[in-house]
A and B are shown apart, each in its own frame.
Chain A
Amino acid sequence: MAKILAVDDSASMRQMVAFTLKAAGHTVTDAADGQQALNIAKTQSFDLVLTDVNMPIMDGLTLTKELRALPAYRFTPILVLTTEAGMDKKQAGRAAGATGWLVKPFNPDQLLATIKKVLG
């Protein structure tokens, strides 16, 4: 199955996402902020990146921009996990180069359905 990088500063969200994805057979690496994720992403390759937006040190949109600037991540699906804040956030995600978004709160089934959509 897919190798997924999950980024969220909240431990409970990180655990929930990782648990759900692992249960579905994916390999999950997690990171607590954008900088950490970027460092990991530079040394490993992933099929999909899931990132929260609001995080300390480096936010999810900056992470998305930084990843897109890396040759290895030019076409990698990057999904941002955003709250219902509205279209402006989504537009910002799109501008940063995100593939799509998943609106928080979501449940494990919604998460898997979205992942399936991206990974086929």
Chain B
Amino acid sequence: MSIDISQFHDVFFEESFEGLDAMESGLLNLDVGAADVDEINTIFRAAHSIKGGAGTFGFMAVSEFTHVMETMLDEMRNGERDVTSESTNLLLESVDVLREMLTAVQQKTDTDDERIADIRRKLEAMMSGEEVSTEVDNNVEPAEVVEVSKAAGWEISFNPHQHLFQTGNDPVRMLRELASLGELTSEASDSKLPPFSDLEPEDSYLSWQLTLLGDIPEQDVVEIFEWVDDDCDLKIEAITAQEEGQTRVEVLVSALDKNDAVSVEPEPVAPPEVQVVEPIAVAEVQVTEPVVTAEVKETKVNVTPPSTAKVAAKPKAAAATPAASSIRVGTDKVDSLINLVGELVITQSMLSQIGDNFTPEMLPQLIDGLAQLERNSREMQEGIMRIRMLPISFAFNRFPRLVHDMTDKMGKKVELKLTGEQTELDKTVMEKIGDPLVHLVRNSLDHGLETPEVRLAAGKSEQGLLQLKAFHQGGNIVIEIHDDGAGLNEDKILGKAVEKGLVDAADVLSPEKIHDLIFLPGFSTADVVTDVSGRGVGMDVVRKNINSLGGTVEVVSKRGEGSVFTIRLPLTLAIMDGQTIRVDDENYIIPLISIIETLEVKTSEIKSVSGKGELYPLRDEYVPVIRMYDVFNLEPHTTDLEEGLLVIVEGEGHKIGLFIDDLLGQQQVVIKSLETNYRKVVGVSGATILGDGTVALILDVPGLMALYREPSLALVVNNNQAA
């Protein structure tokens, strides 16, 4: 039978990556000098499983590499090797290499063989320092197998010990197997059989004299007795071809073990060819530029909303990363869904019963039924959403390592505390929040927390505290990053902002306003650009990324006491609260989270500024007015600002006013991607289907701001109008 074992690869990769995570966190928890044996055992076991699986599934390079790590871990757990910070760090590096190797195998890409070989050499070098030969002694002389290779058969004396059955072995099995090799004649001896009264039915009393004829390799015969050679007296003698029955070369049973050991030694595989590939930097996570506003120039915005579902079915296969292809769901979640489906079916049958013989008196029943249906579908929706929810520990997991590595490098002492790791968050949001979180943590470690000397001088404890907290608040998840470091330096920030022309020197700003300046594009207060957080991407990118998820980020800081960055995110990206608005006869949705207020304005309040269009004075600032009918090239019911409404929305820390015809209702909308079904449109983040079946576009506030800031866009619009 041939079984395709590649079908188990996915499970193997999944569990191996989990194993690597376990190894990593285990290694980070190891206390140098006084390591916890259980902890080492866990790490060892993870390595052991990866090695075994990799061998089984044919990933020999992975298996071999892991073998070296396993050997080192084995020595540690047996107390033969001390846990030092060097060895821990080397093992951590090895975990990285192994992760790269597995990823490469999984995605069928190349590995950095040089780096692998390098780490492997380091591991081997560390071990050879005090190599203890724990291998089996090979003091048994190889049996004279060569001389007897021309055997015409074998004479076997097999005398099982009394307790043989208690190992689950059965002589019948061995006789059967021998018979399958060649011509077998057997002679049983019952000479050891005790008188019936003393007979122990569970013991073995018989012995056999066997003759096996045929050109059979000795190895095959030996293998049959492999499991019992300690539980019997065994003699295997060759019958030579020339003089059958005369020249017998005895093969010592003691040699069997040796043979056995040799036979199972894995084929040494040649070291992988060395290819020079650009070395991959160690797990560096960079916040990449978001694409939200990057495509302004090539975008036309006179798209009228597709009022029916005429959007061409052109689904672009989303390039999902392999890791994203499966999701683990707790059985309790699935069970509750099945319950809900049950209830839904009951409601449905109730409603169809009402429908079958409907009379006007049944109206209250019908209304009840519909209310129940509404409740069922809402519960189903919540239940299905919960399937996509993962505990935030998935995003928090990488921080112990990150903090360990960074503090090591910077000579700082920091304790990392994670709380609320079980707080659940939509998978998509989770994937996208990772990078901004890393950036904020790096920022706190680099700019916030001080070196031990500085801390002591400031009367603080030597060790800094970095806390990551996650919790639910309303329909949002809140993630806080606390540090008890130096806090934001208002003077420095203000000085920098003035120097960069971001604010006027004469401006009087509250501390909060000053703190918020760090989120402006191109802002960096580090005296020296370090390789830790100074990467040319600043907090503006963090804010942009978080905004693009429909979230917000704020900072509260106190000089000398530390800072708290607070991220607020919607629980899911698939559904959001929206405000329906009307322009012309079209409906649009504005995300409720971005709306600040809605006003009726007087034309006299509007200031026209050349190059900036119309501005509306909202308390102490001027807010640009964007006429939505212009943006979408529509015939408005009114162009008079006094007859419509101005919706003030905020995104990326700026406000704009959207001029619309009317406000309709608020509702939860299911977001459908425009990009997958049509193409990217600046100013529109997606579409949704309203209760009456029509399609409404969901406005993208940051996108609309980009439109406002890019004057050339107006030309595009005008050209299209002219055409």
Contact = CB atoms under 8 A, between A and B. Distances in A.
A binds B: yes
Interface string A98-120: 11110111111100100001101
Interface in A76-103: 76-78, 83-84, 86-88, 91, 94, 97-101, 103
11 contacts: A9-B49, A12-B53, A16-B8, A20-B3, A74-B166, A77-B169, A87-B257, A97-B167, A98-B167, A104-B56, A120-B176
Contact of B136 (A23, A24, A87): A87
Given A77-B168, A86-B136, A88-B136, A120 B173 contact: yes
Given A54-B48, A118-B173, A23 B53 contact: no
Contact of A84 (B169, B172, B230, B264): B264
A103 to B, nearest CB: 5
B8 A54 contact: no
Interface in B663-692: none
Contact of A108 (B1, B12, B260): B1
Interface in B218-258: 226-227, 230-231, 257
Nearest to B57: A12
B269 to A, nearest CB: 12
Interface in B253-283: 257, 260-261, 264-266
Contact of B1 (A23, A88, A91, A118): A23
Contact of B8 (A19, A77, A84, A88): A19
5 cross-chain pairs, A with B, having the tightest CB-CB distances, nearest first: A105-B55, A99-B168, A100-B227, A12-B12, A77-B168
B51 interface: yes
Contacts of A76: 168
B11 interface: yes
A24 B359 CA distance: 62
A55 interface: yes
Tell me which of B52, B261, B264 has the highest count of chain A C-beta atoms within 10 A of its own C-beta.
Answer: B52
A45 interface: no
Contacts of A52: 52
Interface in B48-84: 48-49, 51-53, 55-57, 63
Contact of B166 (A91, A97, A107, A118): A97
B165 A75 contact: yes
A10 B49 contact: yes
A91 B268 CA distance: 24
Contacts of B172: 120
Interface string B5-27: 10111011011000000000000
A79 to B, nearest CB: 9
Contacts of A10: 12, 15, 49, 52-53
Given A55-B45, A77-B168, A120-B173, 10 more contacts: A11-B11, A12-B57, A13-B56, A75-B168, A86-B136, A91-B230, A94-B167, A94-B230, A104-B56, A105-B266
Contacts of A78: 168
Interface of B: 1-3, 5, 7-9, 11-12, 14-15, 42, 44-45, 48-49, 51-53, 55-57, 63, 135-136, 165-169, 172-173, 176-177, 202, 226-227, 230-231, 257, 260-261, 264-266
Contacts of A54: 44-45, 48-49
Contacts of A99: 167-169, 227
Contacts of B12: 10, 12
B56 A86 contact: no
Interface of A: 9-13, 15-16, 19-20, 23-24, 52, 54-56, 68, 74-78, 83-84, 86-88, 91, 94, 97-101, 103-109, 112, 117-118, 120
Contacts of B7: 19
A117 B176 CA distance: 9
Given A10-B53, A54-B45, A101 B136 contact: no
A104 B52 contact: yes
B173 A86 contact: no
A54 B52 CA distance: 11
Given A15-B8, A94-B230, A104-B55, A23 B3 contact: yes
Contacts of A104: 52, 55-56
Nearest to B18: A11
A87 B63 CA distance: 20
Q: Max chain A CB contacts within 10 Å: which of B9, B52, B136, B168? A: B168
Contact of A75 (B166, B177, B266): B166
B5 A83 contact: no
A74 B168 CA distance: 7
B459 to A, nearest CB: 46
Nearest to B49: A10
A97 B226 CA distance: 15
A107 B56 contact: yes
Contact of B3 (A88, A98, A108): A108
A15 B11 contact: yes
Per DSSP, chain B at the interface is helix
B53 A13 contact: yes
Contacts of B202: 74-75
Contacts of A112: 1
Given A13-B53, A86-B135, A103 B264 contact: yes
Given A104-B56, A112-B1, A11 B15 contact: yes
B165 A100 contact: no
Contacts of A117: 173, 177
B318 to A, nearest CB: 27
A15 B12 CA distance: 10
A33 B63 CA distance: 22
A88 B176 CA distance: 29
Nearest to B74: A85
Contacts of B53: 10, 12-13
Contacts of A98: 167-168
A41 B231 CA distance: 26
Nearest to A68: B166
Nearest to A90: B260
Contacts of B56: 12-13, 16, 104-107
Nearest to A52: B52
A49 to B, nearest CB: 9
Nearest to B165: A75
Contacts of B264: 84, 103
A118 B12 CA distance: 28
Contacts of B266: 84, 105
Nearest to A98: B167
A96 to B, nearest CB: 10
Contacts of A11: 11, 14-15
B505 to A, nearest CB: 64
Contacts of B3: 19-20, 23, 108-109
Nearest to A99: B168
B260 A87 contact: yes
A120 B176 CA distance: 8
Nearest to B5: A16
A83 B51 contact: yes
A11 B9 CA distance: 11
Contact of B265 (A13, A77, A84, A108): A84
A75 B172 CA distance: 14
Contacts of A87: 136, 257, 260-261
A24 B53 CA distance: 22
Contacts of B227: 94, 99-101
Nearest to B70: A83
A83 B52 contact: yes
Most A Cβ at <10 Å: residue of B56, B136, B257:
B56
Contacts of A9: 45, 49
Contacts of B226: 100
